[in-house]
Structure 1
Amino acid sequence: MFTLCRLLPMRRLLGDQLPALALSWLLAELFYKFHSFSLETAAFLATWFALDALIQGLRRLAGHATAVSVER
């Protein structure tokens, strides 16, 4: 986590990671009731990873679609 915060600029952290982090936190608070800190933490981190991958994939697709429409 420290490396992530150190390597990425603040603007990218806030723009890319904050939405996925916030949504993951909300989902974890509402739905993850495993009665185990370790399991809930692992599920939260897995959710953050999956949501971040989904958001980045959608941004890549949207960027590709925009680039294709600009070229035409």
Structure 2
Amino acid sequence: MMFEAQPIVRVAVEPKNAGDMDRLVKGMRLLNQADSCVQVMVQESGEHVLVAAGEVHLQRCLEDLRKRAK
């Protein structure tokens, strides 16, 4: 079964500690590879943005990022 959804919810993310930025970028890259419904981008302002298919999907993606960061 294959689902296709357009990402519609976006949020800027940043690490609690500035020194963890490399880990955040790596985690976002892995999330982007693992989930085809996720888009990861860096805005001109330097913000790292995560775009997901809905609120629940976004919450799950953020939980995954938090788990990988530990």
TM-score (norm 1): 0.40
Higher strand share: 2
Q: Which has the higher contact order (CA 8 A, sep 6+)?
A: 2
